[in-house]
Structure 1
Amino acid sequence: MKQTIVLLISAALLALGCEKESEDPATPGLAHLMVYNGSADFYNAQGLVLKNNQPLGSRTYNDNGIGLVGAFNFASYSLIDSGSYRIAYLDSSSIPAEAAKLSETRVHLENGQHYTLYLLDSLGFFEILTTRDEVARDPAMANIRLVHLSPDAGEVYLRLDTALVADIKPLSFRGVSHFVKVGPDIKPAIRIMYKDKETGEERTLSRKSFPLQAGRCYTMILRGYRDPADGNVNKTINLSTITNY
């Protein structure tokens, strides 16, 4: 009899445990998020990034969270619960309560995916651009893409040394290309090109050299102004590259 009672109690506890387990909310997945400030108006200044109105970190111009991005820098992804968020940029990080909200967007981050948010502006009109980033490795090829954050640069396209990257179509301001596969190279010239409107001649807007390694994914960011309104040479056209993976 005692054995029967013990078995009944054990079965009841097991049933309660299973019921409680089924009622527990599912653990959210994790996404990877990087935030980049591509607004030249933030040269020598800091802006605060908010996630659902809570501080996520500050960014100066050409900063992805681990410092200034040069010709060849690695990504800085933060792990974040998957789901929907409001992301905003403030015009100051010194006194958040007094800072003005420059731009805000809603993003949905999926489990296991990588994303970058870019702040961009055109003469004081700010926007947030969201991209899903490629991190799948091809052991024989490099993956590259171009992000156009230069408000007055016009339409541009890409050459590696002298070879046209035909799969990256001409881009205008706010444009983002798909990732395309290219052959690895020790240190090719990354040339951002444009056509002169008056003569139709091809001209180089920006040129950088850095290695393209097989199995890596790269985002090339065209940033700054051809003609900064305040004449500040630190805001002129430049090219930064982030190694996404």
Structure 2
Amino acid sequence: MASKEEMRRWIEKAYRYLLLADYYKYMDPDAHIHFYRKHFKYARKVAKAYRSGKVMEDWQPIAQQRPPREDGSAMVRILHASPDASLVDVYADGKRLARNVKFGQTTDYRALPAGSRKVDIYPAGRKGTPVASVRLSAAAGQHYTVAVVGRKARLELLTVEDRPTRRRGMAGIRFIHLSPDTPRVDLAVTGANVLFEEIGYKERTDYLFLPSATVNLEVRPTGTERAVLKIPNVKLTADAAYTVYAIGLLKGKPGLRGLVLKDG
């Protein structure tokens, strides 16, 4: 009987080699054939185990999530993505969570008691009427990014769950579009495949799993091959997950900027 670990290893290798075979399909036929043969080798192992019934029925290909924090806390970080807002302070239920956060800055994750929490932002150093608020349902053990988005005349707080489903040996990547004057865009690997298509402002993708690698990414207006933002040397490490954020302005200052944050 194939063990859980054997089945996990075979399926992950089959998946990894299939990705590589697809990547090289039109670029390098020899590499395509090389990786497809490797994919077929491990896919056949999996199929043989299922046909013979020699497989543990409770096998699961997805790694288990981290257990909840013992203290019942959630973890929250702040991202300032409003291109024309000045420094801000962030409070949760009246207690300061972060101060003097500037455009393009991300705080570390910080513990926040689980439950319904009211998150407010104020101009730095002034705690009168909040300029934006959001109600965060914080689950114990969960990670969140609260992003300050929009123009300063109409700021918003956007809550993002940083809850990647990890696949052992693979890197997860997703994309979130936070540039208020940029139309729908695609995120692509430079000179290669498009990873995500037609992503609009404040939209987010699911995670896509790739082999660990260092890649050059670029953001393109949907349907074109003209990069309006290049994000070089993005290191994707196995067993980790990342969010790529596009912030700033397409026409104006500060210009478009890419942020790559490790999640969880």
State the TM bucket, normalised to the shorter chain. 0.7 to 0.9
Tell me how far apart the structure 2 counterparts of residues 223 and 159 of structure 1 sit (CA, whole Å). Answer: 17
Q: How much identity, in percent, do the aligned residues show?
A: 21
Change (3 A) 1:215 1:202: same
Between the two proteins, the alignment pairs up a number of residues equal to: 193
1:223 equivalent in structure 2? 247
> How big is each residue's C-alpha offset from its partner over 1:126-158, in whole Å with a ceiling of 9 and x where there is no partner?
111111113554332110111111011100111
Q: CA-atom RMSD, angstroms? A: 2.0
1:241 equivalent in structure 2? 260
Q: Is the 1:142–1:214 Cα contact (8 Å) retained in structure 2?
A: yes
> How big is each residue's C-alpha offset from its partner over 1:32-76, in whole Å with a ceiling of 9 and x where there is no partner?
11111111113xx311111113322121111112xxxxxxxxxx2
TM-score, structure 1 as length reference: 0.73
1:143 equivalent in structure 2? 172
Tell me how far apart the structure 1 counterparts of residues 193 and 163 of structure 2 sit (CA, whole Å). Answer: 22
Higher RCO, 1 vs 2 (CA within 8 Å, ≥6 residues apart)? 1
Instruction: Quote the offset at 1:124 in angstroms.
Output: 2.6
- The gaps in structure 1 that reach 5 residues or longer are 1-26, 66-75
- Runs (4 or more) in structure 1 with deviation over 4 Å come to none
Tell me how far apart the structure 2 counterparts of residues 31 and 174 of structure 1 sit (CA, whole Å). Answer: 23
Tell me how far apart the structure 1 counterparts of residues 261 and 248 of structure 2 sit (CA, whole Å). Answer: 16
Counterpart selection for 1:87 from 116, 119, 122: 119
Instruction: Quote the offset at 1:191 in angstroms.
Output: 1.0
Amino acid at match of 1:204: A
Alignment of 1:126-165 (within 5 A): 126-165=155-194
Tell me how far apart the structure 2 counterparts of residues 192 and 150 of structure 1 sit (CA, whole Å). Answer: 11
Matched, 1:64 2:106: yes
Tell me how far apart the structure 2 counterparts of residues 84 and 123 of structure 1 sit (CA, whole Å). Answer: 26
Amino acid at match of 1:174: K
Matched, 1:48 2:89: yes
TM-score, structure 2 as length reference: 0.68
Change (3 A) 1:183 1:122: same
Amino acid at match of 1:191: E
Counterpart selection for 2:82 from 32, 35, 39: 39
- The gaps in structure 2 that reach 5 residues or longer are 1-69
SS in 1 for 2:251: coil
Q: Is the 1:169–1:177 Cα contact (8 Å) retained in structure 2?
A: no
Q: Is the 1:39–1:119 Cα contact (8 Å) retained in structure 2?
A: yes
Whose Rg is larger? 1
SS in 2 for 1:40: coil
Tell me how far apart the structure 2 counterparts of residues 51 and 177 of structure 1 sit (CA, whole Å). Answer: 27
